[in-house]
Amino acid sequence: MNTISKSECADPAHGELAGKVAMVTGSTSGIGLGIAQALASAGVNVVLNGFGDAAGITRIHNELEQSFGARTIYSAADMSMPGDIKGMVEAARKTFGKVDILVSNAGIQHVEAIETFPPAKWDAIIAINLSAAFHAIRAVVPEMKARKWGHIINIASAHALVAAPFKSAYVAAKHGVAGLTKSVALEVAEHGVTVNAICPGYMLTPLVQKQIPETARARGSPKSWS
């Protein structure tokens, strides 16, 4: 697990975020964890979500609270299930009273040629990488508009802009995230709510590590990858 000290992340310019509440999906590892740490360092209370064993999640919870003084809760919500997403938002409101910042970061990947790409994998990737962002945004926008303040950040990908072979579902989902971001941004701009997408390139996260051998197999590289 990455660790970030308060001195490395704290930024006086972010003082206005102190006391805000952020919900970060897929925040138990990789990019999502880094975002959760940065927000906590700015005084933001964080709703964590993602995969992981209980001990690892407890370590993340303790680090954020002890290192940065942030309050955190964890939701095991399955991002492919709209009811779970609604429940996570309700849990955030029950604990903190609101959701000021939504970061939709959860994602999965599968790499395979289109003719053998499993339909179940397509459905899961679209659900988690795209539809989950829609359901989460839909749940938090009314309160953000009512308060005239809110930030929605969708973690897209370089693949929201440029395609790659053997990633049909992932590329389609991330292009969809870019379009969703643009549409919602236009809807809520006059209500004090911002909506942005971030399109990172390759970073050595668990998601990327897993797809290296998958991509090699899809390209017909030597069996030593398997």
Catalytic residue among 74, 117, 122, 170: 170
Please give the chain's pLDDT, 226 residues, in tens: 333 344 344 444 447 899 999 999 999 999 999 999 999 999 999 999 999 899 999 999 999 999 999 999 999 999 999 999 999 999 999 999 999 999 999 999 999 999 999 999 999 999 999 999 999 999 999 999 999 999 999 999 999 999 999 999 999 999 999 999 999 999 999 999 999 999 998 655 665 556 556 665 666 654 443 3
Q: Could you tell me if 79 and 25 are in contact, meaning their C-beta atoms sit under 8 angstroms apart?
A: yes
Give me the helix-helix angle, 82-96 and 132-147, nearest 10°.
30
Which has the closest alpha carbon to 35: 105, 89, 95, 91? 105
Mean pLDDT score of the chain: 89
Give catalytic status of residue 170 as yes or no. Answer: yes
Q: Per residue in 18-57, pLDDT tens?
A: 999 999 999 999 999 999 999 999 999 999 999 989 999 9
Give the DSSP H/E element, type plus range, for residue 41: helix 30-41
How far is the C-alpha of 97 from the C-alpha of 94, rounded, in Å? 6
How far is the C-alpha of 36 from the C-alpha of 59, rounded, in Å? 13
How far is the C-alpha of 115 from the C-alpha of 111, rounded, in Å? 12
6-225 carries CATH number 3.40.50.720: yes
